[in-house]
Amino acid sequence: MKPVKVGICGLGTVGGGTFNVLKRNAEEIARRAGRGIEVAQIATRHPNSKCDTGSTPITADIFDLVNNPEIDIVVELIGGYTVAKELVLKAIENGKHVVTANKALIAVHGNEIFAKAREKGVIVAFEASVAGGIPVIKAIREGLAGNRINWLAGIINGTGNFILTEMREKGRTFEDVLKEAQELGYAEADPTFDVEGIDAAHKLTILASIAFGIPLQFDKAYTEGIARLTTADVNYAEALGYRIKHLGVARRTEAGIELRVHPTLIPADRLIANVNGVMNAVMVNGDAVGSTLYYGAGAGMEPTASAVVADVVDVTRALTTDPNNRVPHLAFQPDSLSDHPILPITACESAYYLRIQAKDHPGVLAQVATILSERGINIESIMQKEAEVQDGLVPVILVTHRVVEQRIDDAIAALERLDDVVDKVVRIRVEQLN
């Protein structure tokens, strides 16, 4: 059988890795796919020194590639929303299948892209868009197809996890670690996407859609970054038996779906609390299977290429199949997507870590306890660091039971009105993940 012709748009970190893996493992890949897979053209403006493209034709114009009648599968690795969207829509219009690692594009424009792809009977595959090399989309979409999925929670930004790990283990500064992540090719072109949780929210949006069968709704995801975390809170969390991780959480409740990215305290003995460096991990809880955990490199040249190439193999195998009998893009049949609403953060439920900077004199703890109990907030543990009294102020740290966020907002506002409380109350959500 004739080899399948692939065009790679973008020869950066992931594009270069994809070319190298397709070339190095060509024989194994052909044995899996049932036919050869050949890179027929590359579109890039810059050569990649880590990638020997030999005699493969190169164009500087991505639309040359998309209009090349020889190409069966367009691999979009240029990133961003604007040109990438135009490119993918053009490829679909030209009847080509698409493989992309572009989480921003899928999270924001995926509904439109998949609708166009259905019209044209082509596949848009996006395994590499979430958690780099971990085949978590395939696991949820196919491996867990028998389950009603209850919740998922993941460390899905390698850069953020790398920064938190280096800060905690080596006491390095935020800026210093971020610079290294950029040099290693992990960080987004705009690294605020990593540290402010936007990249994680893109990925969480995609995971929630395929887990619960809902349309992509990135604009409704709640996002809070890691830039304001302090070493003091990292250390208090440790003392309470927790680790702080930047977590994406999606949970199905009767009222709606929680979709939130924020720093989170996780019990230190959970496997996921021990996922360090650039590694990613996603826990998925289904009613039949219980909790499952997927772990691996969440970014980087060949780990991400591993997912891109797996999609290319999947598309190759599906080329001759009936478009109506393929795995749906968002796991559920498009006419069966649910309109279960995404909840605002104030309606989400979690436990909370609070750090209150209080004046060190009698009755302060009683006032704090009264404010919480008046709002039905149950305290799980409390710690007052007498040894850390400074200028007559003492940090009071407590962890609550689960409660709706609106009640914690009210309690924090009341605490901050007390004469005995100075500074803003620090609030970090807590998840037991059991």
Nearest approach in angstroms of CB 117 to ligand HSE is 22
Separation of alpha carbons 197 and 59, rounded Å: 35
**How would you class 261 by CB atoms within 10 Å of its CB: exposed for 0-12, middle for 13-18, buried for 19 or more?**
buried
Other beta carbons within 10 Å of 170: 9
| Active-site residue (options: 96, 203, 220, 359) | 203
SS3 285: strand
Identify which of residues 286 and 296 has a Cβ nearer to ligand HSE in the complex. Answer: 296
Residues lying near ligand HSE in the complex (CB under 6 A): 132, 157-159, 186-188, 194, 199, 298-299
Q: Please identify, using beta-carbon distances, which residue of 14 and 398 lies nearer to ligand HSE.
A: 14
> What is the three-class DSSP state of 37?
strand
Nearest CB to ligand HSE, comparing residues 20 and 157:
157
Name the residue among 256, 267, 247 with its Cα closest to residue 203.
Answer: 247
* Shortest distance, position 262 Cβ to ligand HSE, whole Å: 16
Which residue, 187 or 364, is less far from ligand HSE as judged by CB?
A: 187
φ, ψ dihedrals at 377, nearest 5°: -100, 120
Q: Judged by CB, which is closer to ligand HSE: 7, or 191?
A: 191
Cβ 407 to ligand HSE shortest distance, Å = 33
Q: Which residue has the tokens 């299948």?
A: 97
**Spatial separation of the C-alpha atoms in residues 369 and 363, rounded to whole Å:** 10
Q: How far is CA 270 from CA 22, 219, 241, 245, in A?
A: 36, 31, 11, 12
From the CB of 349, what's the least distance to ligand HSE, in Å? 27
Rg for the chain, CA atoms, rounded: 24
424 in active site: no
- State the number of CA atoms in the 13 A half-sphere of 94 facing the CB: 21
Q: Which residues are catalytic?
A: 203
